[in-house]
Structure 1
Amino acid sequence: MSDTRPGHAPMDQFTVVDDCLQVGGIPLTRLAARVGQTPFYAYDRQVMTRRVESLHAALPEGISVHYAVKANPMPAVVTHMAGLVDGLDVASGRELRVALDAGMPAAEISFAGPGKSILELEMAMAAGITLNLESETELERVAAIAEKTGETAHVAVRVNPDFELKTSGMKMSGGPKAFGVDAERVPALLARIGELGLHFRGFHIFSGSQNLRAEALIEAQGQTFDLALRLAESAPGPVEMLNIGGGFGIPYFPGDRPLDLGPIAEHLESRLPEVRDRLPEAEVILELGRYLVGEAGVYVAEVIDRKESRGQTFLITNGGLHHHLAASGNFGQVIRKNYPVVVGNRVQGTEREVVNVVGPLCTPLDVLAQQMELARAEIGDLIVVFQSGAYGYTASPTRFLSHPEPVEVLV
């Protein structure tokens, strides 16, 4: 059974008053009435602000922080984050439009991802943002567009390094990957960038995500710096930016411990002098998504039925995997684990029980909590899934079985 009562790390971002969760200082029941429907996602802007401020305070001077829009592309969230961070990173043409609308200067926006369409490349070049090249083919397409339109192509090379981020929730490097250019192929690509006369900006080296081990992140960052310095020797111009990725994780499950930033900051401080000496024009960038917004969001669904089946209690809600695929365990979990869940209007409750929380879909995969101890819930009560600020709504199959889509609010 999972302990999600007050004091468990995922709940530390929020307050509970009279046994009712508060989001953005608003009691959940009142917030639900304001939204006017369930299910919904609610994102607390103050939680995001505190996270960015604490990160800046911990990091050494000279490290820029970029927000990876893919973590949560809600326009209101992106606009709020744009006022807190140093840049935005996008992964589609639609995200690019959101980033530009948020007011972030084009020079501080980059575009990564394999398989960019011709239209997306044209949009990015017209906007004047940095394109992270993912292949030799993409480089030639960019050069052709530049020749046709007369636009300046601002390019960086996304590198697939020959190492991985150990104990990472999702490994993005270290072997054959669809992401980036293999490190051993990069020197030839750099030479071609020089031949084509494109504006070379630097490197994007991303090795993994959702990591809670400082020592693993330190090792990967050290290897990233070494690789970047080695590749810079073949660069067709000065390195203006060095995006070392992110990988910072947040605690989801019992036993997870929040990431300790102290050792990471100390390591970055120790490496920066060499980087600044050898790459004097380079802006060193940490690109983070989940770490900045993941803990700021909750997903809220309503109990519409409760039933008993062969000795187990089921709470059936109007939300589920079609809105929150990750919480159902179907977004990368090998062995399903429960996200932190509470009955939002009875957080502690005077009576507790072990239940299964499921959605309305016709599949046994539609599970939000399995054999979990919660306050006793009745029809009409509100189920809250924490750690839902990143890779929630937009990472889910919302059209599955044609149920209504959830609402999103920033409070």
Structure 2
Amino acid sequence: MSLTFIRRPLGLQFGGMDVGQLADRAGRTPFFAYDRSAIDARIRELRSLLPCGIHLHYSIKSNPMPAVVHYLATRVDGFDVASAQEMALALDAGTTPAAIGFAGPGKSHDDLRRAIASGVNVHVESQTQLRLVTALGWELGVPPSVAIRVNPDFQIGHSGMRMGGGAAPFGVDVDQVPALLRELEAREVGLAGFHIFWGSQCLHATTVIEAQRQSVELIFRLASTLPQPLRFVNLGGGFGIPYFPGETPLDVKAVCKAMRDWLPRLCERLPETTPILELGRYLVGEAGIYVCRVIDLKVSRGKTFVITDGGMHHHLAASGNFGQVLRRNFPVIIGNRPEGVTRERCHVVGCLCTPLDRLADDIELPEVHIGDFVVVKQSGAYGRSASPLRFLSHPEPVEMLV
């Protein structure tokens, strides 16, 4: 008589696998894993709520893993990039240059040359950029596709990161836009569109609604004197995801309902213009995890420290060193243990010799053992690529799309 043992998964299930199976696939820890089914679900939900006529762009800077970019290329209408390398990723994924917008306050001469030669939309952010773009266009014999990124004359509260509205390195102040339009006309270069990015990581629907309303009104003001219709207007994004206790997910239904109110007016006044919603973190942030392994446990002056083989060099945002004013814990669990077991308070730290290397402070977790998997959720955006990977020369983490 033979016995068959059935392996029963414990703890986290992600992408159809438990964390041990994910670790086997990665080959080692630490690693990032991104769940394509979660990305699909987010895009399906958003498409079902957005009014017809809105184009959805993915901001590559939020997660530039090539497999993620290629996967999204068939699911979104275009990409927004912030470097020549990101532009190359978008083009390699088969995206048409006309569906790519290149923004950034500090584009190099080489960046602009490559962008113009490729035919992508260059979002100029200063008079210097405009003059260089037009000069390079003449030099290459290629008419550049130029948009103006506008620093709006309104400020919006409750945004995790403001990208405009006051003195800023991003975009051209509203009152300077007319002069740039006259210069474009004098240089015989047409204007493809406007880009207004007011902020990011916003969880307040009323804030997003008001920002979009004011952005549309600003577009109407700027477009009223143009001799030719705009091809597109990029209204930014700003949609946030919850990271910390007490945060409530953005009410996307309310935002999309408000969009249905103003979109007909935009289509009526600018019938040849495509409105673009640019999202990054909102599409992929909740679809990713970071996994590292417990390699030591120690008690120091009555406090328990869980020491892992990962840390801030892989996931700077989780350590609190990526723009947080006050350090707060990302959602952290022990991925191979059920939630309902005996719990203890501890600090989860990385392997680096700096006190900044903390993945969770004073957190309650199931009883931890050496060899357990520490899982940081909400890690699909601004994780690996936003971290100092070469700090102290530890191995880089694996990335995989599952």
Regarding TM over 0.5, the answer is yes
**Aligned: 1:131 with 2:122:** yes
3-state SS, counterpart of residue 121 of structure 1: helix
Matched residue, 1:338: 329
**Match 1:408 to one of 384, 395, 399:** 399
Matched residue, 2:81: 90
3-state SS, counterpart of residue 20 of structure 1: coil
Matched residue, 2:3: none
The separation in 2 between residues aligned to 1:342 and 1:319, in whole angstroms, is 14
The separation in 1 between residues aligned to 2:156 and 2:53, in whole angstroms, is 23
**Aligned: 1:190 with 2:155:** no
Matched residue, 1:253: 244
Matched residue, 2:71: 80
Q: TM-score, normalised by structure 2?
A: 0.97
The separation in 2 between residues aligned to 1:209 and 1:404, in whole angstroms, is 31
Deviation at 1:166, TM superposition (A): 1.4
| Mean Cα deviation higher: 389-398 or 186-195 | 186-195
Matched residue, 2:46: 55
The separation in 2 between residues aligned to 1:410 and 1:199, in whole angstroms, is 40
**Equivalence map 1:37-186=2 (5 Å):** 37-186=28-177
State, as a whole percentage, how many aligned pairs show the same letter. 56
Matched residue, 1:292: 283
Q: TM-score, normalised by structure 1?
A: 0.95
The separation in 2 between residues aligned to 1:196 and 1:207, in whole angstroms, is 29
Question: Is contact 1:213-1:259 (8 Å) kept?
Answer: yes
The separation in 2 between residues aligned to 1:234 and 1:72, in whole angstroms, is 38
Deviation at 1:300, TM superposition (A): 0.4
Deviation at 1:311, TM superposition (A): 1.2
**Match 1:399 to one of 387, 390, 394:** 390
| Mean Cα deviation higher: 318-327 or 269-278 | 269-278
Question: Is contact 1:169-1:211 (8 Å) kept?
Answer: yes
Question: Is contact 1:194-1:236 (8 Å) kept?
Answer: no
Matched residue, 1:369: 360
Matched residue, 1:5: none
Give the AA of the match of 1:21.
L
3-state SS, counterpart of residue 256 of structure 2: helix
The separation in 2 between residues aligned to 1:401 and 1:69, in whole angstroms, is 27
**Aligned: 1:322 with 2:313:** yes
The separation in 1 between residues aligned to 2:269 and 2:183, in whole angstroms, is 23
3-state SS, counterpart of residue 89 of structure 2: helix
| Mean Cα deviation higher: 235-244 or 360-369 | 235-244
Question: Is contact 2:10-2:18 (8 Å) kept?
Answer: no
Q: Compute the RMSD of aligned alpha carbons.
A: 1.0
Q: Deviations over 1:282-336 (max 9, x none)?
A: 1111000000000000000000000111111110001111110000011111111
The separation in 2 between residues aligned to 1:49 and 1:203, in whole angstroms, is 29
Unaligned runs of 5+ in 2: 1-7
The separation in 2 between residues aligned to 1:236 and 1:326, in whole angstroms, is 45
Matched residue, 1:20: 11
| Mean Cα deviation higher: 343-352 or 269-278 | 343-352
Give the AA of the match of 1:125.
I
Question: Is contact 1:321-1:328 (8 Å) kept?
Answer: yes
Give the AA of the match of 1:178.
P
The separation in 2 between residues aligned to 1:116 and 1:165, in whole angstroms, is 27
Question: Is contact 1:155-1:202 (8 Å) kept?
Answer: yes
Deviation at 1:349, TM superposition (A): 4.9
Q: Deviations over 1:226-268 (max 9, x none)?
A: 1010001233421110100000000101111111112211211
The separation in 2 between residues aligned to 1:236 and 1:385, in whole angstroms, is 52
Q: Deviations over 1:358-406 (max 9, x none)?
A: 0011111110011111111111110000000000001011111111111
**Aligned: 1:307 with 2:301:** no
Deviation at 1:164, TM superposition (A): 2.4
Q: How many residues align?
A: 395
The separation in 1 between residues aligned to 2:208 and 2:348, in whole angstroms, is 35
3-state SS, counterpart of residue 247 of structure 1: coil
3-state SS, counterpart of residue 202 of structure 2: coil
Q: Deviations over 1:125-147 (max 9, x none)?
A: 11111010111100000110111
**Aligned: 1:235 with 2:260:** no
**Match 1:271 to one of 258, 262, 265:** 262
Give the AA of the match of 2:93.
A
Deviation at 1:350, TM superposition (A): 2.0
Question: Is contact 1:191-1:236 (8 Å) kept?
Answer: no
The separation in 1 between residues aligned to 2:62 and 2:372, in whole angstroms, is 29
The separation in 2 between residues aligned to 1:93 and 1:397, in whole angstroms, is 20
Unaligned runs of 5+ in 1: 1-16
3-state SS, counterpart of residue 239 of structure 1: coil
